[in-house]
Amino acid sequence: MKKLLHTSALAAMLVAALASAPAWAQTAAVKVEGAWARASVQGQKGTGAFMRLTAQDGARLVRAESPAAGVTEVHEMKMEGDVMKMRAIPALDLPAGKTVELKPGGYHVMLLDLKAPLAKDTAVPLTLVFQDAKGAESKLSISVPVATTPPGGAPAAGHDHGHKH
């Protein structure tokens, strides 16, 4: 019975994620909202995924994984002088109760070495790996809608992920 309840809870979390409703990772208790990935075109080897993350008790996003990409990394973009720099970061801190936005031109999940273009109006599987204050890891698998603009239709400002890294 316990296993059946656990499976039902996982199914409920997946349904919540697919409906773009908040989904909670079990250990780190992280809510994911507004997730989307930028559509790519033939020959484009990288794109970004964006979302809002809120950790109930504080956590860190330590990595991301996707079968759609050869490499999946957590990235930071920031201005250094008058040059916009992008780099992989080892972890992204999620302070307790504060929403951290992953967005074009800021923190984001980078999908590199795409195995196929990400077409608009499809979805890409993404697993987020969190670490709590005690060092325990938890994973949250979500299905991220692919679009050319963020949810709500506003044009995405910031970095175009069409170039080679």
Q: Note the pTM of the prediction, 2 decimals.
A: 0.76
Mean pLDDT along residues 108-115: 97
For residue 154, the model assigns a pLDDT of: 55
Residue 112 has pLDDT above 90, yes or no: yes
Q: What is the pLDDT of residues 31-76, one digit of tens each?
A: 999 999 999 999 999 999 999 999 999 999 999 999 999 999 999 9
- What whole-number distance in Å separates Cα of residue 164 and Cα of residue 129? 26
For residue 153, the model assigns a pLDDT of: 63
User: What's the mean per-residue pLDDT of the chain?
Assistant: 82
For residue 14, the model assigns a pLDDT of: 39
User: The dihedral of CA 84, 87, 32, 133: what is its sign?
Assistant: negative
Residue 79 CB neighbour total at 10 angstroms: 9
Q: Which bin fits 152, alpha (ψ -120 to 50), beta or left (φ > 0)?
A: left
